[in-house]
Amino acid sequence: MHAQVIVVGAGPTGLMLACELALAGVRTRIVERRTEPQRDSRALTLHPRSVELMDLRGLAPRFRALGRTVPGWHFANLDTRLDFAALDSRHGYTLFLPQARTEFLLQERALELGVEITRGYRCTGLSQDADGVEVQLRGPGDRAETLRARYVVGCDGGRSAVREAAGIAFPGTEETLTGVLGDFAAIDADPSALDAARAHGVLVAPLEGGLTRLVYLDPERMRTPSGVPVTLEEFRTSLTRICGSDLGVAEPRWLSRFGNATRLADSYRRDRVLLAGDAAHIHFPAAGQGLNAGLQDAMNLGWKLAAEVNGWAPPGLLDSYDAERRPVGQAVTENTEVQTLLAELTLVPQYRRPAAALRGLLNDLLGIPEVNHRIAGQVSALATSYADPGADAADPLVGRRMPDIGLIAAAPAATRAYELFSRGHFVLFDLAGDTGSGRTADTEGDARVTTVTVMRHDDHPELDGVTEILVRPDGHIAWATRGTEPDARRAERDAALAAWTGVTREVAAR
């Protein structure tokens, strides 16, 4: 059977997207140039919204079992930490989970859902016509092959061949600064030396298998291009310069230099070709947001592309992917630029004093709960909203993520909202508890919309007075009403269902 969608790249974004497509019944094939999964992990973190995404699909226990929770996170490495625990989420923490583990878990899930993963094939080009896309590949022995599908998604990283072949521009700024990371099987340093390293801005993180990751910016070498390999000698010299000791690092498993080139694709879609993850946005890994943003791109795109392939997408739905996710990509690139600038100023001799004063000021500001909450909302991605600024009449909840409210006496039985999203459907919450009984079954609608009647829910003041909420498969609120008059509400609900789910018959009729 031919795939309906080809995903290029089996990194976290491609794997997540393939899972979402397959969940919606789309025949999906990933082509990946590597013959084996990646062993080294660039990213180490899943932030709250990403863990929530896993929770929506019933996967959070798998991820939590392999990771370690840390209570908050940082912005620009400031001493005042971001308080994720204060955010309205059951997952108000950072899940410390190496990227290779995230990929392993997503690949496991993709295979369970029937995704075909073809390794050892590199995309070299593509061409599209009115009905589909042809993807040119080079396989083992440099053999040329062509695959055809209705859509292709480039999840093939910052140097995306798909982006290039589709002619999508990738404007932004060149690399001006680089950092260095090393994963070591052996380090010989006492706790006070490690504390001193941390105090000088060196990131020290224990990894699985007894490895320790160290990451630093060396003022003397931070202009070295990322293409120049890192040697153990350089690592030791830099550490000694930064914190007075080389920390006894030995047996490096991975040494890498990474830069701050910052770019955002001009568009996330060209006809039948779409981009997600690093293929669409690259930036310095400040506060660990790139992988998280890629997972969230995939969650936004998956159900929309599936709706298009399955033939029920309302007009404009697929284009809303670019409209919703590109501004988020832009915001992430901008906040990493702010963080990188702050780091750089701290290292340049003539700015060191004012930079320290600036950091002091920002530390104080982050101590103000409202400020902390705002930045934490952005880095955790819990504050991401897809509200349409033109839709004045919409309820203020529209576009925001649905909180995982506790449900009391819900039918069908569920104890919390996120349990209802495991099949990737829309969920219509009847919070007035008065319209659910006697709904007629509608097979077409039921395949897309799960309706739940809730007699009561736990304390969420922002939902006071809300009588119905329609939530998209990615957990964002499509429509909400505070109406109390049943007939008017039904008319509003049917219009929302038609606009979002394409179901025109009265799904929720009494």
- In 367-485, alpha helices (H): 369-380, 443-446
**Type and span of the H or E element at 275:** strand 273-275
User: Which CB sits closer to ligand FAD, 168 or 454?
Assistant: 168
> Which contacts qualify for 431-436: CB closer than 8 Å, 24 or more apart?
431/457, 431/463, 431/466, 431/467, 431/468, 431/469, 432/467, 432/468, 432/484, 434/486, 435/468, 435/486, 435/489, 435/490, 435/508, 435/510, 436/411
Cβ 140 to ligand FAD shortest distance, Å: 13
d(CA 2, CA 4) in angstroms, rounded, equals: 6
Report the DSSP beta bridge partners of residue 321: none
Residues forming the site for ligand FAD (CB under 6 A): 8-14, 31-34, 42-45, 99, 122-123, 155-157, 161, 181, 258, 277-278, 285, 288-292, 294
Cβ 494 to ligand FAD shortest distance, Å: 38
Cβ 459 to ligand FAD shortest distance, Å: 31
User: Which CB sits closer to ligand FAD, 72 or 290?
Assistant: 290
User: Which CB sits closer to ligand FAD, 332 or 480?
Assistant: 332
Cβ 498 to ligand FAD shortest distance, Å: 34
d(CA 484, CA 487) in angstroms, rounded, equals: 9
User: Which CB sits closer to ligand FAD, 214 or 507?
Assistant: 214
Instruction: Show the tokens assigned to 164.
Output: 């290039």
Cβ 253 to ligand FAD shortest distance, Å: 14
d(CA 383, CA 373) in angstroms, rounded, equals: 10
d(CA 107, CA 59) in angstroms, rounded, equals: 12
Instruction: Show the tokens assigned to 172.
Output: 């932004």
Nearby residues of 182 by Cβ (< 8 Å), 6 or more positions away:
213, 214, 215, 230, 235, 249, 252, 254, 255, 256
User: Which CB sits closer to ligand FAD, 19 or 44?
Assistant: 44
Helix, strand and coil content of the chain, in percent to the nearest 5, comes to: 35, 25, 40
Cβ 110 to ligand FAD shortest distance, Å: 13
Cβ 323 to ligand FAD shortest distance, Å: 20
Cα 443–446–447 angle (5° rounding)?
90
Per-residue 3-state assignment (H helix, E strand, C coil) for 412-446: CCCCEHHHHHCCCCEEEEECCCCCCCCCCCCHHHH
User: Which CB sits closer to ligand FAD, 8 or 428?
Assistant: 8
d(CA 128, CA 135) in angstroms, rounded, equals: 9
122, 161 contact by CB (below 8 A): yes
User: Which CB sits closer to ligand FAD, 104 or 258?
Assistant: 258
Cβ 242 to ligand FAD shortest distance, Å: 17
| CA-closest candidate to residue 280, choices 126, 387, 386, 169 | 169
User: Which CB sits closer to ligand FAD, 156 or 468?
Assistant: 156
Cβ 280 to ligand FAD shortest distance, Å: 8
User: Which CB sits closer to ligand FAD, 18 or 496?
Assistant: 18
| CA-closest candidate to residue 386, choices 450, 466, 304, 315 | 304
User: Which CB sits closer to ligand FAD, 292 or 451?
Assistant: 292
d(CA 478, CA 402) in angstroms, rounded, equals: 10
Cβ 122 to ligand FAD shortest distance, Å: 4
User: Which CB sits closer to ligand FAD, 42 or 91?
Assistant: 42
Cβ 8 to ligand FAD shortest distance, Å: 5
